[in-house]
Structure 1
Amino acid sequence: MPEAYERHLVPVFFRPFAADLAARAAALRPRRVLELAAGTGALTSALLTAAPTASVVASDLNEAMVAAGSAREPRADWRQADAQELPFEDGDFDLVVCQFGVMFFPDRPAAYAEVRRVLAPPGRFLFNSWGPLATHGFGSAFQAALEETMPGRAPAFLEDVPHGYTNPALVASDLAAAGLTLDSADEVTLDGVAVSAASVATGFLTGTPVSAALEAREDAQSIRASVTQKMTDRLGAGSVTAAMTATVYTAHRRE
């Protein structure tokens, strides 16, 4: 999964937003940064380039992602870590960042409380989350192709998880419950450029939990072929571009 994720999804989805988030982080002039849900290191590399004097600890729950990320970005200190039980001392960092990871936390207030604990006053928490699935050109095309291929049986992972935390009021409430105050919520729309719709379809089908929902099916191969073709029909052949919307949140530790 990390290889497919890195090859097919990271350049298209995550690097454009990593540049945006890293620039925002650098403007805060951090000295010691903790990254949560770092994946294979798209934001990690952007952070180290944008804020070269900062030290960066990159963490992820998934051991395979940590192994892949540390190989790709050895300038960071990589740690396997659960965001809800961080293995760091109180006040260890002046900035915590997370790119498209908070949606996956089972207990967000608990994770945010850990963020508050490891932040030194007046530390900042900078993170983003995807907007509704309809605002993601690639994701919505993929889900439509999946539902046409598997009517009534299509996995709802994209809508329920990556695109399931879209209400700024809920985010603010979760942060407040953990002792953090939301300072800003900025909607950002950027273009993703993929070598082909088929490449993105492959990324979704093999680099996300959608793969687990299909692998046990006898018709998995035909489903993948159908979804790939339908996605190509929607987005076109050759290189494809689509708009993607996310919200960038900045919060601070409340005393």
Structure 2
Amino acid sequence: MDKDTSFTGSIPETYERAMVPLLFIPYAIDMARRAAQRRPQRVLEIAAGTGAVTRHLLQELPDAHIVATDLNEAMLDQARQAVASPRVEWRQADAQKLPFPDASFDAVLCQFGVMFFPDKVLAFSEARRVLKPGGLYCFNVWDGISHNDFSATINHALAKVFPEDPPRFLPRMPFGYHDVDVIRGELARGGFSGAVTHEVVTASSHGESARVTALALCQGSPLRADIEARDPARLQEATDAAAAALAAKFGEGPIEGKMQAIVFTCEA
């Protein structure tokens, strides 16, 4: 597990407390509602993190059994504290080597995890393998960073803090996989030869303040490791610079910015 996919240390707690309400709730609600239209009884969630989607699946699918997985055991530990239900089974699992039999789920869901998979075709083929015929694979990815206000602002601010070697985690990983033609091609190579649709979904991100928003992104994601790789003593300086840039653009109090993602739905 490299630093781009390692959600360890203090990251899971900061992620759950700050990142989930900042970025993930609108899209978690959207994904759970899309899944509910199919009324699946067995659902596999990949890269479940701290359970942002899981808790909404419990509301939208009152009779379903949910297996929620993540590569990072530390994130699952945090998720178990946030979401407690006998209908949820938490499992550590690699999306590229799922420990489940063929055709064992009615739906496979993945919120903002695909971008982190080293071999996306292999991960797609594993999702296809564990789906029952006619099952649903639904996942979303962030659109380009220029369509996501807070992250774009922070990325620009960090480039000024480290002008010789700017942290590249944000444009490289979470915002680096949004070419629809590339994604459709890799889905086809992964075995999704049936109906594949995609939809651009825009939402609003609401931050408690510029400082809390900067803390969420700079210290509640692997961006932290990218900053510390340049100079671990400058993490707070980088966070302060990000907060100042957000405050200058969006204000000192509660802030609001645009988010944009692309949602894919695929038939097995």
Q: TM-score range by the shorter chain?
A: over 0.9
Secondary structure at the aligned position of 2:163 is classed as: coil
TM-superposed CA distance for 1:59, in Å, is 0.2
**In the alignment, is residue 56 of structure 1 matched against residue 66 of structure 2?**
yes
Amino acid at match of 1:208: S
CA contact (8 A) 1:141 1:235 kept: no
**In the alignment, is residue 189 of structure 1 matched against residue 202 of structure 2?**
yes
**In the alignment, is residue 202 of structure 1 matched against residue 218 of structure 2?**
no
**In the alignment, is residue 91 of structure 1 matched against residue 103 of structure 2?**
yes
| 2:7 alignment counterpart | none
TM-superposed CA distance for 1:70, in Å, is 1.6
| 1:173 alignment counterpart | 185
TM-superposed CA distance for 1:213, in Å, is 2.5
Q: Aligned equivalents of 1:63 and 1:74: distance in 2? A: 16
TM-superposed CA distance for 1:55, in Å, is 0.9
Secondary structure at the aligned position of 2:96 is classed as: coil
Matches within 5 A, 1:222-237: 222-237=237-252
Secondary structure at the aligned position of 1:18 is classed as: helix
Secondary structure at the aligned position of 1:79 is classed as: strand
CA contact (8 A) 2:169 2:226 kept: no
TM-superposed CA distance for 1:193, in Å, is 0.9
| 2:21 alignment counterpart | 11
CA contact (8 A) 2:44 2:66 kept: yes
> TM-score, normalised to structure 1's length?
0.96
Q: Aligned equivalents of 1:103 and 1:123: distance in 2? A: 22
**In the alignment, is residue 106 of structure 1 matched against residue 121 of structure 2?**
no
| 1:127 alignment counterpart | 139
| 1:46 alignment counterpart | 56
Determine which of 137, 162, 165 is the counterpart of 1:153: 165
Amino acid at match of 2:27: F
- Bigger shift: 67-76 or 102-111? 67-76
Secondary structure at the aligned position of 2:260 is classed as: strand
TM-superposed CA distance for 1:138, in Å, is 1.0
Secondary structure at the aligned position of 1:90 is classed as: coil
**For residues 177-203 of structure 1, what are the alpha-carbon distances to aligned partners after superposition, in whole Å with 9 as ceiling and x for unaligned?**
011135210000011111011111101
CA contact (8 A) 2:142 2:178 kept: yes
**In the alignment, is residue 243 of structure 1 matched against residue 255 of structure 2?**
no
Amino acid at match of 1:234: K
**For residues 72-111 of structure 1, what are the alpha-carbon distances to aligned partners after superposition, in whole Å with 9 as ceiling and x for unaligned?**
1122110000000001111110100000000000000001
Structure 1: gaps spanning 5 or more residues: none
Secondary structure at the aligned position of 2:167 is classed as: coil
- Bigger shift: 225-234 or 155-164? 225-234
Q: Aligned equivalents of 2:49 and 2:225: distance in 1? A: 18
Structure 2: gaps spanning 5 or more residues: 1-10
RMSD: 1.2
Q: Aligned equivalents of 1:122 and 1:197: distance in 2? A: 45
Secondary structure at the aligned position of 1:199 is classed as: helix
Q: Aligned equivalents of 1:196 and 1:220: distance in 2? A: 19
Q: Aligned equivalents of 1:24 and 1:214: distance in 2? A: 36
| 2:30 alignment counterpart | 20
TM-superposed CA distance for 1:123, in Å, is 1.1
Secondary structure at the aligned position of 2:262 is classed as: strand
TM-superposed CA distance for 1:38, in Å, is 0.2
CA contact (8 A) 1:149 1:227 kept: no
Secondary structure at the aligned position of 1:85 is classed as: coil
TM-superposed CA distance for 1:159, in Å, is 0.5
Amino acid at match of 1:37: A
**In the alignment, is residue 77 of structure 1 matched against residue 89 of structure 2?**
yes
Q: Aligned equivalents of 2:184 and 2:102: distance in 1? A: 23
Secondary structure at the aligned position of 1:186 is classed as: strand
Q: Aligned equivalents of 2:127 and 2:238: distance in 1? A: 41
